[in-house]
């Protein structure tokens, strides 16, 4: 590995970073074929860039993007609806925008997506990125948010558990 960096350690990601990450996510998660997942559209990337810039943590090796973690600020009520399967992930994201939930007023954090390109896996990068993102999002807030997720894979679930144990955050 050359020089691994996390965008959370610098000034937040650019709009171009959001677009590139959305493309990377699309190539793996195929959200266009699954309408229950958040759509990787330019409109959604622009909203996230403007309203929740610190939600995205981009991992680079020198200049190359090798992965990311995306943790979205949320409310407790939308979290509960989502966990009870009353609303889809796509609907959750739409409601967040309508209800103007952002980095200043959230009560819970949704670990929405994480991806590391295969040759960089099992080096602790996703765990490290998740911890850094949670710390960055919570540093200005007095509350202890609840972390929740919709684990896509066994590795995803294990990574969340590892991050949770390190940072001591309540997990739903
Ligand atoms: C899930 C993913 C992001 C994990 O990234 P990573 O940087 O390799 O994760 P970490 O190295 O931080 O692993 C954290 C812990 O999770 C567990 N883990 C991760 N991958 C694992 C695997 N393939 N098999 C068994 N345990 C695994 C381990 O306990 C690991 O800790 P350890 O290495 O100290 O034992 C990566 O595997 C990936 O991109 N997968 C495809 C996309 C995906 O499924 N994303 C998650 C859903 S949103």
Mean pLDDT of 142-160: 89
Q: Using alpha carbons only, give the angle 167, 127, 131 rounded to the nearest 5 degrees.
A: 40
Q: Identify the band that residue 15 occupies on the pLDDT scale cut at 50, 70 and 90.
A: very high
Q: Identify the band that residue 152 occupies on the pLDDT scale cut at 50, 70 and 90.
A: confident
Q: Residue 172 domain-assigned?
A: no
- Considering only CA atoms, which of 3, 37, 9 is closest in space to residue 22? 37
CA 16, CA 143: separation in Å to the nearest integer?
A: 31
Q: Residue 107 domain-assigned?
A: yes
Q: Residue 25 domain-assigned?
A: yes
Give the nearest ligand 1 atom to 150 CA: 48
Contact (Cβ atoms closer than 8 angstroms) between residue 169 and residue 141 = no
pLDDT at res. 111: 96
Q: Residue 115 domain-assigned?
A: yes
Q: Using alpha carbons only, give the angle 71, 79, 98 rounded to the nearest 5 degrees.
A: 80
Residue with tokens 């590892």: 162
pTM, rounded to two decimals: 0.95
Q: Residue 122 domain-assigned?
A: yes
Mean pLDDT of 161-170: 88
Ligand 1 pocket, 115 CB below 6 A?
A: yes
Domain count, the chain: 1
Q: How far is the CA of 154 from the centre of ligand 1 (A)?
A: 8
75-91 per-position pLDDT tens digit: 999 999 999 999 999 99
Ligand 1 pocket, 126 CB below 6 A?
A: yes
Q: What is the span of the domain harbouring residue 105?
A: 4-167
Ligand 1 pocket, 122 CB below 6 A?
A: yes
Q: Residue 127 domain-assigned?
A: yes
CATH number of the domain to which 74 belongs:
3.40.630.30
């Amino acid at each position: 590995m050359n020089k691994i960096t996390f965008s959370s350690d610098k000034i937040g990601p650019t709009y171009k970073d959001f677009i590139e990450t959305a493309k990377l996510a699309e190539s793996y998660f195929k959200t266009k074929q699954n309408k229950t997942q958040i759509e990787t559209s330019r409109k959604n990337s622009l909203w996230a860039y403007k309203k929740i810039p610190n939600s995205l943590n981009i991992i680079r090796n020198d200049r190359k993007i090798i992965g990311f973690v995306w943790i979205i600020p949320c409310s407790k009520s939308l979290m509960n609806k989502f966990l009870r399967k009353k609303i889809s992930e796509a609907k959750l994201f739409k409601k967040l925008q309508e209800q103007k939930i952002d980095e200043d007023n959230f009560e819970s954090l949704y670990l929405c997506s994480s991806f590391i390109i295969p040759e960089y896996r099992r080096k602790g990068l996703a765990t490290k990125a998740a911890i850094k993102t949670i710390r960055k999002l919570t540093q200005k807030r007095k509350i202890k948010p609840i972390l929740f997720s919709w684990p896509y894979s066994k590795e995803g679930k294990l990574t969340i558990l590892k991050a949770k144990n390190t940072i001591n955050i309540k997990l739903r």
